[in-house]
């Protein structure tokens, strides 16, 4: 879901909560643009999403979100969120049911980590 000119939101979890969260965020961002006179940047949208999720922490949106966009320097940035609004910037992220399948591939391709080789080396030392 596109939230700004340089910001996208992806989510896993309950689709109805994703739609409700998206409508709420778009409304807040339209109000921001009307009052301030410019679009919100990615960092502002990340804080808005975190505050929104934290505000619903007792009856949370069942969504696990990834917010991706460009910062003020034009560099890519990705934020990962849990259901109650805790977030942190990362180089890459994945969420959802395929997390356990894709994360080792991303680690290998983007960071050069090879978990299987480390596992076999540790196993051979033990034996």
Q: Between the ranges 21-30, 56-65, 117-126, where is the mean pLDDT highest?
A: 21-30
Does 84 lie in the same domain as 103? no
Q: What is the mean pLDDT of residues 58-63?
A: 89
* CATH code of 75's domain: 3.60.20.10
Q: Are residues 127 and 74 in the same domain?
A: no
Helix 15-36 to helix 42-55 angle (10° resolution) is 130
Q: Does the model's pTM come out above 0.85?
A: no
How is 13-82 classified by DSSP, letter by letter?
E-HHHHHHHHHHHHHHHHHHHHHHSS---HHHHHHHHHHHHHHTTTS---EEEEEEEE-TTS-EEEEEE-
Query: Are 125 and 82 members of one domain?
Result: no
| pLDDT tens string 11-29 | 998 999 999 999 999 999 9
How many whole angstroms separate alpha carbon 79 and alpha carbon 53?
14
Residues 70 and 116 in one domain: no
Q: How far apart are alpha carbons 53 and 82 in whole angstroms?
A: 9
Q: Is pLDDT above 70 for 59?
A: yes
Identify the pLDDT of residue 124.
Answer: 46
Q: Is the pLDDT of residue 103 over 80?
A: yes
Q: Are residues 88 and 43 in the same domain?
A: yes
- Its domain, for residue 57, covers 2-95
Per-residue pLDDT, 84: 87
Neighbours of 33 (CB within 10 A): 13
Residue 127 has pLDDT above 50, yes or no: no
Average pLDDT over the chain, rounded to whole? 85
Of 35, 32, 18, which is closest to residue 81 (Cα–Cα)?
Answer: 18
| Percent of all residues in the chain with a pLDDT value above 70, rounded to a whole number | 87
Shared-domain flag, residues 67 and 111: no
Structurally, the chain folds into a number of domains equal to 2
Q: Which two tokens stand for residue 28?
A: 């807040």
- Three-state SS at 11: strand
């Amino acid at each position: 879901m596109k939230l700004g000119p340089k910001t996208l939101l992806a989510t896993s979890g309950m689709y109805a909560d994703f739609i409700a969260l998206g409508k709420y965020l778009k409304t807040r961002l339209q109000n921001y643009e009307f009052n301030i006179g410019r679009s919100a940047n990615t960092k502002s949208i990340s804080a808005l999403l975190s505050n929104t999720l934290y505000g619903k922490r007792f009856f949370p949106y069942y969504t696990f979100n990834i917010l991706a966009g460009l910062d003020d320097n034009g560099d890519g940035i990705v934020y990962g969120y849990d259901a109650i609004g805790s977030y942190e910037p990362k180089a890459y992220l994945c969420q959802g049911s395929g997390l356990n399948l894709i994360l080792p591939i991303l680690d290998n391709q983007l960071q050069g980590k090879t978990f299987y080789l480390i596992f076999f080396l540790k196993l051979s030392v033990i034996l």
